[in-house]
Amino acid sequence: MKRSVLPGLFVVTALLAAPAFADGEKDLCTTNLQTISNAKTTIIAADLQGEIANSVQQAQAAQAKNTSEGTKECISITQRAIQQIQNSQKGG
How high is the pLDDT of residue 70? Answer: 94
The overall pTM is greater than 0.85: no
From the CB of residue 74, how many other CB atoms can be counted at a distance below 10 Å? 25
Which pLDDT tens digits describe the chain residue by residue (92 residues)?
Answer: 444 433 443 343 343 444 444 456 678 999 999 999 988 776 667 778 889 999 999 999 999 999 999 999 999 999 999 998 888 877 65
Distances in Å between the Cα of 64 and the Cα atoms of 16, 23, 34, 56, 80 are 24, 14, 15, 12, 19
Residue 67 carries which DSSP code? Answer: S
Per-residue confidence (pLDDT) for residue 38, from 0 to 100:
86
